[in-house]
Structure 1
Amino acid sequence: MTDRPNAAGSPVALAAALRSTGYLADDGIATAAFLALQMNRPLFCEGEPGTGKTALAHALAEVFGAELIRLQCHEGIDAAQALYDWDFPRQLLHLRALEAAAGASGERLDADSVEASLYDRRFLLARPILRALQSTPSVLLIDEIDRADDEFEAFLLEVLTEHAVTIPEVGEIRATTPPLVVLTSNRTREVHDALKRRCLYIWLDHPDLQREIEILHSRLPGLPERLAAQVAGAVQQLRRADLLKPPGVAETLDWARALQLVGARHLDVDSAAATLGAVLKYREDADRVRTQLDALLAS
C-alpha cells in the first residue's frame, strides 16, 4: 500500500489509529502491523480462536480507507475459487447473439474471432485474490489458512511473492499497488515454513484483564464499570477452565451486551445463568459452568 496516512508513521501512531476504530492493539500487534506496511510483507497472525486476528484486518482496512477483501479458506479450496472464473451464462448468451446476428446477415462466423470475444475481460469473474490485485488500496484477508491444503499453500507462494497472476486467455495481471495481506491461522495444523518465511509473524494471545475491560468500554460505551470488570474477570476464569471452546473476545462482548439487554447492572448467579449462551457454545461447557457459578463469580 502506498500514500499511507500518518497512521503508518510509527507503531505508536498506528496503535492510536487502530484504537479509533475500536481495536485495541498492544505494542507487539501494532509493531508487527507497522512493519508489514513498511516492508510490504504479508502479516501472518496465529493464535487461538477469538483473539482478534480477523478483527485486525478489518481495523486496518478502516484505518487506511481500503477495501477489505476476504478469502475464507476451507478444506478442498483451489486456485480457481480464490482467483477467477468465467461467466459461462453470459458467454453463452453472447455466443447466441453472435450466431443470431450472423444468421440474419448471412455471414459466416470466424471461429478464432468468436473464441477471442468469449474470453474478453468483461466475462471475467474476479474472485478475492484477483479483486485484491486490481483494487487500490485493499486489504486481502486470507482467513483460516490452516484449513486449506498443501497445494493451495503452494499456489499462494507465487501470488504473495509476485503480486501478479497469469490468466491464459488474458495475460498477466499485476497489482499496481500491492494489497496489504493478512493471513490468519487457528493452528489446527502447522502451516509450511515456505509460506511463513514470506510473511511477518505474530502470535495473538487473549487480552489480559485490563485490556479486555478497555475493549468492553471501547466497543460498548455506557457499560457500567463494575459490570465490565465482572464480565472480563469471569471470562478470564473461563479461559483457564478445561472447556471444549474457551470464549474469545467476541464472546466477551456478546455476554456484556446480553447482560445490558436484560437490564443487569452487575453480574450475579441469576443473570449469569440466564445469559450463559452468549459466552459458551457447547452444552457440556454450559452444564459444567452452571454448577460452578458461585465459585466463578466469587473468584
Structure 2
Amino acid sequence: MKTYTNGALPASIAETMEMLESGDYLAGTALSTVLFLSLTMKRPLFLEGEAGVGKTEIAKVLAKALDRPLIRLQCYEGLDISSAVYEWNYPAQMLEIRLSEASGTADRGKIESNIFSEKYLIRRPVLQAISAEAGKAPVFLIDELDRTDEAFEAFLLEVLSDFQVTIPELGTIRAQEPPIVIITTNRTREVHDALKRRCLYHWVDYPKAAQELDIIRRKVPGCNERLSREVVGYVQRLRTIDLFKNPGVAETIDWATALTELDRLTLDPETIADTLGALLKYQDDIARVEGGEGRKILDEVKAELLAAG
C-alpha cells in the first residue's frame, strides 16, 4: 500500500486515486477529485449514499495510507456531548474528594482545581480529534450523521467551523492542526444545509459491473472467475427489482466469500436459496427472490455469460 508519512498528502488527483487503489479501494475520477480537494483545501468531506457502498471504508483506507490514527464517532439517536465530546471521571473525582477529606486537607478551592484537571477528563472522539499535535492530525470519521438529532448536528456545526471545544472548567481547547474530517450519511433524513455548506460533497453510488468485479477479485481472491462474474451479474440485477434494501458492495463481498468457503464453483438455485442470508437482510426481500424472481435473474445471468463466451 502506498503510504504518506510526516504529514505528507497526495500531490494530484491521479496520486489520490493511486493511493486509494493501493488500499484496494477502487475510486472513480469524481471521488478521487473531491477527496484530493478536501485534503488540499482542508475542508470536511461529506459522503452520502446507500448503506454498504463503501463510504466508511474510504476513511479507513485514508487513515492507513496517510499513516494517521482513525478516530471514529459512530452516530446514533440520542447521542449527546458527554458521549461524543467529553465527560468528567466522576467516580475518580468522588474518590479524590473523600481522600482529601480523610487526610484533613479539604481546602475547597484546591480540591476543585485538582478534580477539574486533565487528570480526570475523559476525552471522547470529538475532543480526541482536535487534541492531536501539529503534523499528527487524525482522520476523524463522523459515521452515519443522519442517525443523530438536529441539536447534536447544530453543535457539530460549531465544532467544524472553528475546530475548538470549550470546557467550562478548563477553557477552550483548539486544534493545533484541523483533523481530516469524513462525514457519512445514509440519507435516512436530510442534514441541514448549514453543515453541508462547510463541506465538499460527493454521492457514493453502487459500482458498475466491471468495477464491482474488480473489487471481488481483490477482496475475495479465492473466488474463481466464473463464480465472481455470476455473483456480480446476479447482484447487479437484484438492484434493479426495487427491493426493500438493495445489497451493497459489502454484501457482495460477504456473499462471494461465503460461496468460496462452501467450495462452490458456480451459482445454482439451491445454493442461492441456502446463502441468501449473506446477501439480503430482510425476509420480504428473501421471499421475493426465492419466489421466482431469483430463478429468472439467474437464467439471465447464465445466458449473458454464455453469450459473452
Letter in 2 for 1:81: S
Q: Pairwise mapping of residues 284-299 of structure 1 onto structure 2 (< 5 A)? A: 284-291=284-291, 292-299=293-300
Offset of residue 161 of structure 1: 1.2
Q: Structure 1 residue 253: deviation in Å?
A: 0.3
Cα deviation 1:115-174 (Å, max 9, x = unaligned): 110101010000110011113331111111111111111111111111111111111111
Cα deviation digits, residues 203-261 of structure 1 (max 9, x gap): 01000000000111111123211111111111111111121111000100000000001
2:150 match: 150
Offset of residue 55 of structure 1 = 0.9
Number of the residue aligned with 1:249: 249
Separation (CA, whole Å) in 2 of partners of 1:16 and 1:268: 37
Counterparts of 1:134-283 in structure 2 under 5 Å? 134-135=131-132, 136-283=136-283
RMSD over aligned CA atoms reads: 1.5
Cα contact 1:83–1:127 (8 A) shared by 2: yes
- Structure 1 stretch displaced more, 253-262 or 48-57: 48-57
TM-score, normalization by structure 1: 0.94
Partner Cα distance (1:76, 1:152) in 2: 9
- Counterpart amino acid of residue 259 in structure 1: L
Cα distance in 1 between the residues matched to 2:8 and 2:269:
48
Alpha-carbon distance in 1 for matches of 2:17, 2:101: 60
Please tell me whether residue 127 in structure 1 is matched to residue 116 in structure 2: no
Once residues 192 and 253 of structure 1 are traced to their aligned partners in structure 2, the CA distance between those partners, rounded to angstroms, is 33
**1:100 CA displacement:** 2.1
Please give the alpha-carbon distance, in whole angstroms, between the structure 2 residues aligned to 1:249 and 1:272. Answer: 17
Percent identical across equivalent pairs? 48
Match of 2:90 in 1: 88
Cα distance, 1:256–1:2 mapped onto 2, change above 3 Å: closer
Q: Which residue of 2 aligns with 1:5?
A: 8
SS at 2:32 equivalent: helix
- 4+ residue runs over 3 A deviation: 1-6
Structure 2, unpaired ranges of 5+: 301-309
Contact 2:5/2:66, CA 8 A, preserved across alignment = no
Gaps of 5+ in 1: 103-107
Of 67, 72, 75, the residue aligned with 2:74 is 72
Q: Which residue of 2 aligns with 1:105?
A: none
Does structure 2 conserve the Cα–Cα contact (< 8 Å) formed by 1:2 and 1:177? no
Counterpart of 2:285, as a letter, is D
Cα distance in 2 for partners of 1:51, 1:294 equals 25
Secondary structure of the residue that 1:275 maps to in structure 2? helix
Aligned to 1:18: 20
Aligned residues, how many? 293
CA contact (8 A) 1:77 1:148 kept: yes
Q: Structure 1: how far apart are the matches of 2:196 and 2:137?
A: 24
**TM-score, length of structure 2 as denominator length:** 0.91
Q: Residues of 2 paired with 1:280 and 1:222: CA distance?
A: 22
